[in-house]
Copies of this chain bind each other. A is one copy, B any other.
Amino acid sequence: MTRPLANNDTVTAFLDAAERLLIEVGYANITTRRLAEEAGVNHGLVHYYFGSMEQLFIAVLERYTDRLIERQRAMYAAEVPFIEKWRTAMSFLDEDRESGYQKIWFELQALAWNQPDLRERLARVHDRWRATLTEAFAPALAAYELDVKRFPVEAIVTLVVTFNEGIILERLGGVHTGHAELLTMIDNWLVSLDAVRRD
């Protein structure tokens, strides 16, 4: 029988080990035995607690995204000028790369491409992510007095989310060309918008 996933040191050890292995070797190279070894427990416990690797990855996703969305939500909820939030968000882009945090995220996505259950869950996480961003961008765009007819919030949010995903993807592939230039361009543009508004 599969046990309920209570607050359990072993379960936590499994989830931590899974994240480390996703970073180090990718989902395709994670087996129950390798995972158990990384977690420092017997390999039978994977089946005991999760029933299968698929279920385990779902548990990894749940814990991961809860943390991710919460951070993003808290960041945008702060009472600071929009450009500061933007810069914080862009700094995450670097931090999360160095920590391997993004690798976890994208490995789960690659896994989900061939696993309808996981894909469905990931799509819902993505919706939450978009909603958080839209909430933060709508007032900002209004403050910058952008023409929402020509530049709808939905389109802007999509642009921001997708180019961020693209940057992460490229960096995972070892490509960094043009990233700094793009981020600088956007930052300058935001600064110029701020300047216009003050006139």
CB of A8 within 8 Å of the partner chain: no
Q: Is the CB of B159 within 8 A of A189?
A: no
Q: Is the CB of B166 within 8 A of A109?
A: no
Of A161, A162, A163, most buried by chain B (CB within 10 Å of CB) is A162
- A185 — which chain B residues lie within 8 A by C-beta? 150-152, 155-156, 159
Contact of A113 among B106, B112, B161, B163 (CB under 8 A): B106
Report the minimal beta-carbon distance from A21 to chain B, rounded to whole angstroms.
11
Contact (A175, B106) CB under 8 Å given A114-B29, A159-B163: no
> Chain A interface residue count: which class?
35 or more
CB of A1 within 8 Å of the partner chain: no
Contact (A178, B158) CB under 8 Å given A28-B28, A173-B122: yes
- A12 — which chain B residues lie within 8 A by C-beta? none
Closest residue on chain B to residue A118 by CB atoms: B173
- For window 44-89 of A, CB contacts with B under 8 Å fall at none
Contact (A182, B170) CB under 8 Å given A126-B175, A165-B165: no
Q: Is the CB of B150 within 8 A of A189?
A: yes
Q: Is the CB of B173 within 8 A of A155?
A: no
Report the minimal beta-carbon distance from A31 to chain B, rounded to whole angstroms.
12
Q: Beyond A150-B192, A162-B165, list 8 extra A-B contacts (CB 8 Å).
A: A29-B114, A107-B113, A112-B173, A152-B185, A157-B178, A165-B169, A165-B170, A166-B166
| 23 sample A-B contacts, Cβ–Cβ < 8 Å, listed by A number | A26-B114, A27-B28, A28-B114, A29-B114, A106-B110, A112-B173, A119-B173, A120-B174, A123-B173, A126-B173, A127-B177, A130-B177, A130-B178, A150-B185, A154-B178, A155-B184, A157-B178, A158-B179, A162-B163, A162-B170, A163-B163, A163-B166, A165-B165
Task: Write the residues of chain A forming the contact surface with B, with a CB cutoff of 8 angstroms.
Answer: 25-29, 103, 106-107, 109-114, 119-120, 122-123, 126-127, 130, 150-152, 154-159, 161-167, 169-170, 172-175, 177-179, 181-182, 184-185, 188-189, 192
